[in-house]
Amino acid sequence: MTTAVIAQGFNWTRCRRKIANISTARGIAAIVVFTIVWELCTRLHVPIIGNVPAPSAVLAALGKQLVSAEYWLSWRDSCLRILSGFVLAQVLGIPLGLLMGMNRTARELIYPVFEIMRPIPPLAWVPASVIFWPTSEMSMMFVVFLGGFFTVVLNIVGGARSIDIRYIRAAHSLGSSRSDIFWRVMLPATLPSIVVGMTVGMGITWAVVVAAEMIASRSGLGFLTWRAYVAGEYPLIIIGMMSIGIAGYMSSALIRFIGSRLTPWLRVF
Amino acid sequence: MHTATTQLTPGMGAGEMVVESVAKGFGVGPLRKQVLRGCSFVLEKGKLTVLIGPSGCGKSTLVNALAGYETPDSGKVLIDGQPVTGPGPDRLVVFQETALFPWMTTFENVSYGPRVQRKLPEREYAEETMKLLDLVGLRDFRDKYPAQLSGGMQRRAELVRAMINRPKVMLMDEPFRGLDAMTRALMQEYYVRLFEEHRGTNLFVTSELEEAIFLADNLLILTNRPACVKKVIRVDLPRPRTFDMMTSAEYQRCKFEALELLHEEAMKSFASGGVNAADFIEACAQLGQDQAQPTCLGLDDMAPPEVSDGAGQRKADGAVSDR
C-alpha cells in the first residue's frame, strides 16, 4: 500500500528542484564548517570542547560499528520499543480522544484523570513501571506508550471540541445520519489534530525510550550510549547520540509523510 | 422532488414558511438578552424575500430558527403547514462565511447531500453535480479543495451544494458578506439569475439596502433588538432583474421608504447618547423593549394589497388563524 501511495504522487522534477537548491547548499556548508571547527577545537585542545572526541575519531569508530551486529541490534530494539509503544498509544488514544471530544459525559468523566496525570513526565513513571510490570521490556513499552498517549489524546480532544459548528450544522441540514456526521465530518475535521498529536508524540517517545533504556535496559541505542560512557569508549558515545538523532528525525519524517497523505487538503498550495 | 429528474424545474417543490410570533432570548437572569420578540412573517412560495435590519439585531438567530438549529422560546415556525422540529434538507442554509467542508473537493462538497441521503444512484447525482458545476462555472475546479477557490467561487459552490438537494426553501444568511464590491455585484447577478430560473422560495438576509432591493420581491425590515418585522415593502420591479433598474422610479421609491424606516431604527439606537459599543447594544435592547410591541407587524398585517398571489396568502393566513 505504501508503494502505491509513493508511486501515485511522486514528481521527480519537483523533488530534484526541492533538493538541489541554494538552501540545501547552505545547509551542507553549515554542517561542513561545524565539523571542521569541531575537529580543530579537539586538535588545539580548546578547554571543554577539546575533550570531545574529534570527528575523525568518531568516523574511525563508526566504521567498526557499522559492521557490528550489536550496533544494528540496538537500532532494532529501540525501534521495536518505539513502534509497539507508539502504535499502542495511537490505537487506544485516538478512539478515546474522539470519544472525549464528542461526548460531553465521557469527557467530564475521564478528562479530570488526564488532567492529573498529564503533568507527570513520562520518565517519572520509570521506577513505578519497572516495579509493577513483570519484565523490563514491558515497563519500557509502557513508558513509551504514556509518552505518545497523553499527547495524542489531548490534541484530539482539543481538535474535536474546536470543530466549527457551521460544518456540523451544514452536515445536519444536508441530511446526514449520525454515522455520516462522524465519518465524513467529525473525523476529517479532527485529522489535522491527530497528525499534530502524532508528530509531537513521536518526538516525546524518542526522548522517553532513550532515557528508559539507560535506566532499565540491556539493549537499544540509549543503552549503547550509556554503556559506551561506562566503558570509556568516548567516540561511541557520539555515535550513539547521532544514531538517536537520526532515528528520531526519520520517525518524525515518516509521521509527517503519513500525515500529509492523510490530510491532502492542507497541502494544496 | 422524488421523480429524480436531472433538471431543476422552475418553482418545483417550492415551499411556504410561516413564522408566527417567534420569541428567542439568550442568557439567564439580568444578563438575559431578548433577541427576537413577536416576530411574524410569511415566506411566500416561489418568492425571494429579503430580510434587512440593523447589524446585531437578530437576523442570524431568525435564520437559525427557520433552519431548525435553534428552537424558539415561544411562537411557531411552519413549513407548508408542518412545524419545524430540526434541520433538514428541505430548508438549506448558505452561511455568512463559507461552510464548505475543507477536506472535500468541490465535487465532493456539492454532491454531499445526495450521497448521504442515499436516494439516488451515484451515477445520477454525479451527473447532476457536474451540470450544476457547469451552471456556476466551476467545472474545471471540481477536484480543487475549498482553500484553492476564490471567495466568489466558494459562495457559488455553496449555492449549488444547497440547490442540488432541491430544497423547498433556501435560507441565505448574508452569503455575500466579506466579498469585494466587484465580486459581490457579480454574485448578486449570478444569484438572481439562478433564482429567476428556478423560482424556489428564498430568504435572503443582508444589511446592504441596495442589494436588498435589487434582489427582493418582498423586503422585510426588522426593528432593533429584540427584533420583529417593522414593515414589509413590496418591490414591484420586473424580472429578470438588471442593474439598470437601480435607476428606476420604483427602485428609488423602495429605497426611500426603506431608508426612512432604517433611519428611524438607527436613531432609536443612538437616542440614549451612548458612545461605546456596550451602551449602544444596551440602548438597542431597552428601546427595543419599549417600542417592540407597538411597532411589530403581525401575520394579519402581511396580507398583500395586490391580489395576484392572494390565494396562497389567504391559505397561509387561514392556516394561522385556525390556531
Three-state secondary structure string covering chain B: CCCCCCCCCCCCCCCCEEEEEEEEEECCHHHCEEEEEEEEEEECCCCEEEEECCCCCCHHHHHHHHHCCCCCCEEEEEECCEECCCCECCEEEECCCCCCCCCCCHHHHHCHHHHHHCCCCHHHHHHHHHHHHHHCCCHHHCCCCHHHCCHHHHHHHHHHHHHCCCCCEEEEECCCCCCCHHHHHHHHHHHHHHHHHHCCEEEEEECCHHHHHHHCCEEEEECCCCECEEEEEECCCCCCCCHHHHHCHHHHHHHHHHHHHHHHHHHHHHCCCCCCHHHHHHHHHHHHHHHHHHHCCCHHHHCCCCCCCHHHHHHHHHHHHCC
- Answer whether A142's CB lies under 8 Å from A129's CB: yes
- Answer whether A205's CB lies under 8 Å from A147's CB: yes
What is the arithmetic mean of pLDDT over A115-120?
86
Backbone angles phi, psi at B26, to 5 degrees: -130, 150
Helices B122-135 and B151-163 pack at an angle, to 10 degrees, of 140
Residue A265 forms contact with B (CB below 8 Å): yes
Select the residue of B87, B103, B104 nearest A173 (Cβ to Cβ).
B87
Q: Do A174 and B102 touch (CB under 8 A)?
A: no
Residue B103 forms contact with A (CB below 8 Å): yes
Residue B102 forms contact with A (CB below 8 Å): yes
Taking a contact as any Cβ pair under 8 Å apart, which residues of chain B between 121 and 150 contact chain A? 144-148
CA dihedral B186, B188, B191, B196 (to 10 degrees): -110
Q: Do B69 and A169 touch (CB under 8 A)?
A: yes
Q: What is the pLDDT of residues A36-95, one digit of tens each?
A: 998 998 888 888 877 888 888 888 888 888 888 889 999 999 999 999 999 999 999 999
Residue A176 forms contact with B (CB below 8 Å): yes
- Closest-CA residue of A relative to B88 is A173
Least confident of A144-158, A221-235, B263-277: B263-277
Dist CA B80 CA B17 (whole Å): 6
Q: Do B95 and A176 touch (CB under 8 A)?
A: no
Q: Do A265 and B145 touch (CB under 8 A)?
A: yes
Least confident of A6-20, A166-180, B50-64, B175-189: A6-20
**pLDDT value at residue A253:** 92
Q: What is the residue whose three cell numbers read 430560473? A: B197
Residue A264 forms contact with B (CB below 8 Å): yes
Select the residue of A172, A174, A268 nearest B145 (Cβ to Cβ).
A268
Q: What is the pLDDT of residues B34-78, one digit of tens each?
A: 888 888 889 988 889 999 887 777 888 899 999 999 999 988 898
Other CB atoms within 10 A of residue A191 CB: 18
**pLDDT value at residue B282:** 58
Residues of A in contact with B148 (CB under 8 A): 268-269
What does the block give as the cell for B37? 420578540
Least confident of A151-155, A158-162, B31-35: B31-35
Read off the pLDDT band of A10 (50, 70, 90).
low
- Answer whether B20's CB lies under 8 Å from B320's CB: yes
Residue A162 forms contact with B (CB below 8 Å): no
Min Cα separation B213/chain A (Å): 28
CB neighbours of A125 closer than 8 A, spacing ≥ 6?
A: A142, A143, A146
Average pLDDT of the residues of chain A? 88
What is the arithmetic mean of pLDDT over A211-229?
89
CA distances from A237 to A44, A234, B146, B157 (A): 21, 5, 51, 59
Residues of B in contact with A174 (CB under 8 A): 89, 92, 112-113, 116-117, 161, 165
Residue B181 forms contact with A (CB below 8 Å): no
Which residue numbers in chain B have pLDDT < 50? 1-7, 272-276, 291-294, 307-323
User: Is the model's pLDDT at A151 over the cut of 60?
Assistant: yes
**pLDDT value at residue B318:** 40
Residues of B in contact with A173 (CB under 8 A): 67, 87-89, 91-93
Min Cα separation B307/chain A (Å): 35
**pLDDT value at residue B315:** 42
**pLDDT value at residue B204:** 93
- Closest-CA residue of A relative to B97 is A166
- Residue of A162, A163, A173, A183 to mutate, interface with B, max B Cβ within 10 Å: A173
Residue B82 forms contact with A (CB below 8 Å): no
User: Is the model's pLDDT at A32 over the cut of 90?
Assistant: yes
- Closest-CA residue of A relative to B91 is A173
ipTM: 0.77
Select the residue of A174, A189, A265 nearest B112 (Cβ to Cβ).
A174
Residue A173 forms contact with B (CB below 8 Å): yes
**pLDDT value at residue B34:** 83
